[in-house]
Amino acid sequence: MSAAHDAVEVIIAKRDGHELTDSQIDWVIDAYTRGEVADEQMSALAMAILLNGMEMREIARWTAAMIASGERMDFSSLSRPTSDKHSTGGVGDKITLPLAPLVAACGVAVPQLSGRGLGHTGGTLDKLESIPGWRATLSNAEMLAQLEEVGAVICAAGDGLAPADKKLYALRDVTGTVEAIPLIASSIMSKKIAEGTGSLVLDVKVGTGAFMKDEDQARELASTMVALGTDAGVHTVALLTDMSTPLGLTAGNAIEVAESVEVLAGGGPADVVELTVALAREMLAGAGVTDLDPAEVLASGRAMDTWRTMVRAQGGDPDAALPEARESHVVAAPASGTLTRLDAMAVGLAAWRLGAGRARKEDPVQAGAGVVWHARPGDTVTEGQPLFTLLTDEPARFDRALVSLEGGYEVGDDTSYAAAPLVIDRISG
Q: What is the pLDDT of residues 320-342, one digit of tens each?
A: 999 999 999 999 999 999 999 99
Using DSSP bridges, classify how beta strands 199-206 and 235-242 pair: parallel, antiparallel or unpaired.
parallel
Nearest-5° angle of CA 53, CA 55, CA 56?
Answer: 125
- DSSP H helices, 35-139, are 39-52, 56-68, 96-105, 124-128
343 near 408, Cβ under 8 Å? yes
Of 169-173, 198-202, 337-341, the poorest mean pLDDT is in 169-173
Residue 164 CB neighbour total at 10 angstroms: 24
Percent of the chain with pLDDT over 70: 99
- The region, left, alpha or beta by phi > 0 then psi within -120 to 50, assigned to residue 16 is alpha
CA 54/CA 31 separation, integer angstroms: 20
Known catalytic residue at 353: no
Known catalytic residue at 235: no
Residue 29 CB neighbour total at 10 angstroms: 27
Q: What residue ranges in 119-276 does DSSP mark as E strands? A: 152-156, 199-206, 235-242, 250-252
Q: What is the distance, to the nearest Å, from the Cα of residue 285 to the centroid of all Cα atoms in its chain? A: 21
CA 323/CA 25 separation, integer angstroms: 47
416 near 378, Cβ under 8 Å? no
Known catalytic residue at 199: no
Write the class of the CATH domain 83-158+169-320.
alpha beta
Given the residues 116, 191, 192, 219, the one annotated as active site = 191
pLDDT digits (tens, 9 = 90+) for 357-376: 887 777 889 999 999 999 99
Beta bridge partners of 372: 250, 389
Average pLDDT for residues 216-226, to the nearest whole number?
97
pLDDT at 108: 98
CA 195/CA 114 separation, integer angstroms: 12
Q: Which amino acid is at 133?
A: G
Given the residues 172, 205, 235, 353, the one annotated as active site = 172
| Helix, strand, or coil (residue 112) | strand
pLDDT digits (tens, 9 = 90+) for 106-131: 999 999 998 887 677 778 999 999 99
Burial zone of 82 (CB within 10 Å; 0-12 exposed, 13-18 middle, 19+ buried): buried
* Segments making up each domain of the chain, as ranges: 7-68, 83-158+169-320, 327-412
- Residue 1's pLDDT band (cuts 50, 70, 90): very low
**CB neighbour list of residue 293: distance below 8 Å, 6 or more residues apart:** none
pLDDT at 106: 98
97 near 303, Cβ under 8 Å? no
Q: Average model confidence (pLDDT) for the chain?
A: 95
Given the residues 84, 165, 203, 271, the one annotated as active site = 165
Count of helices and strands (H, E) across the chain = 16, 13
Domain 7-68, what fold?
Answer: 1.20.970
Known catalytic residue at 76: no
Among the listed residues 377, 371, 375, the one whose alpha carbon sits nearest the alpha carbon of residue 422: 377
Given the residues 5, 80, 86, 166, the one annotated as active site = 86
CATH architecture group of domain 327-412 = Alpha-Beta Complex (3.90)
pLDDT at 90: 92
| Helix, strand, or coil (residue 228) | helix
Percent of the chain with pLDDT over 90: 88
| Helix, strand, or coil (residue 20) | coil
How does DSSP classify residue 373?
E
Known catalytic residue at 191: yes
Given the residues 187, 190, 223, 404, the one annotated as active site = 187
